[in-house]
Structure 1
């Protein structure tokens, strides 16, 4: 494995878990994000570098770059590059060995398996064998992290995974389009009924007791029904700054997919 390049679409917490794993495994990693990320678990998301210039996830630096020459000059184990440059330009100029769709958009995709030498998709609505070479199961449960070589991951149910016996109560959404005003910070302890944010002045209240594990950036403009906050009933503050069990499982599956493909081809 010499200077193998990985382009990841998306810089949220699960995408960042993948970026973290691959960076530490010696890959050159570039993350492509929106100019205004809608990331909630910002303390473990390389997307935070878009606004902050740089961020660190479990000891790995993510650094914002806005010049394609900086991407072309990247070396292994240097840092995770985060950019808002057009993906098509990066694919053409940088020519990554691996493309990973880690947006978990749960929508039909705009690429095929031949988009890169190895194409990997996370979650539903991506067909292994057609849209991607591999799909990784992202639904919590027995098959989390399974590598799918034909077909799709489990369809999205719209119900958040269960943590400490709680599911939909953990996740908080905007009811209407508006500007988010943050009231509490990641790491704060809250009680059910506490106002954690406002969307155009309308309060969003915690639905359970716990620690604020995620909160969208203050001033973000959101459409209706957008995830803006995450309250963890386990109330363990250290979890706010560390990659989740789900992220570690998914990132391990991605690494396995890469090793499978390039070991078989004698490139590793």
Structure 2
């Protein structure tokens, strides 16, 4: 039996609640900090089973034993969630509740490949994930998010590696393992995450109001991610993720990349000396 998390530390605000942001939130919550995460009203999440942002449409969600809940009041409901050992998820993309939450650390984990408004003076320590941030300019610390030798590296001066525009290589596949929308419209899923698929299989279709177009699997593997059905999407956005390694359990657990990034964020916070580790329940 897993004990309820004791979140009694300082407040850490994580912008975004997608896959990589959820790895950060998961690590920090396990470490005992009072984590709050912000999202947009209709988040696009391909690997939604491992995203705390799924709590927005579902009201509650759990990722590897850590629970999150959608909240509306930035103070009262957050306190209730923390006492229950849960991460509160706010729909607040513009950080209107920032002054009320008064976080000691702010982590921009939107992964937009550009800065969408985070400023260094928003918290005593600010951290940006990946391209779009410059340590010492718009944030205090940048965490490298590119797969490879430097994944998770803490950067105290300068920027992360530029956006390559190409998905990381897994089992010899890069762009082939990612499925993109051929046009804008309403996506209708025809397969479920966790299923084994073959190249050419129909994963769903996109209806633009005039005609429907099938979305096909590009390689053989496990369907590790797929947008939820009836999602409204623009053209050329990621809608599916096929894992050629074929391990179904990978669909429901935090990825190695998200764990590495989350652990690096925790290290950066501890290394700064701005916070002491909270007292955890034994």
How many aligned positions are there?
A: 266
Q: 2:93 and 2:251 mapped to 1: Cα distance? A: 31
Q: CA deviation at 1:89?
A: 2.6
Report the aligned-residue RMSD. Answer: 1.6
- In the alignment, which residue of structure 1 is the partner of 2:46? 40
Q: Which of 123, 126, 151 is matched with 2:130 structurally?
A: 123
Correspondence 1:76-225 to 2 at 5 A: 78-85=85-92, 87-200=94-207, 201-225=212-236
The answer as to whether partners of 1:28 and 1:76 remain within 8 angstroms in 2 is: no
> 1:75 aligns to what SS in structure 2?
helix
What is the TM-score when the length of structure 1 is the normalising length? Answer: 0.95
- In the alignment, which residue of structure 2 is the partner of 1:236? 247
Q: 1:142 and 1:130 mapped to 2: Cα distance? A: 25
Q: Which of 28, 36, 61 is matched with 2:34 structurally?
A: 28
Distance 1:108 1:64, change over 3 A: closer
Q: 2:276 and 2:34 mapped to 1: Cα distance? A: 16
> 2:96 aligns to what SS in structure 1?
helix
Q: After alignment, is 104-113 or 175-184 more displaced?
A: 104-113
Superimposed CA distance per residue, residues 129-178 of structure 1 (whole angstroms, 9 cap, x where no aligned partner): 11111111000001000001111111111110000111001101111111
- In the alignment, which residue of structure 2 is the partner of 1:259? 270
Q: CA deviation at 1:87?
A: 4.3
Q: CA deviation at 1:111?
A: 2.5
> 1:156 aligns to what SS in structure 2?
coil
> 1:259 aligns to what SS in structure 2?
helix
What is the TM-score when the length of structure 2 is the normalising length? Answer: 0.90
- In the alignment, which residue of structure 2 is the partner of 1:7? 13
Superimposed CA distance per residue, residues 31-64 of structure 1 (whole angstroms, 9 cap, x where no aligned partner): 1011101011011000111001111100101111
Q: CA deviation at 1:66?
A: 1.3
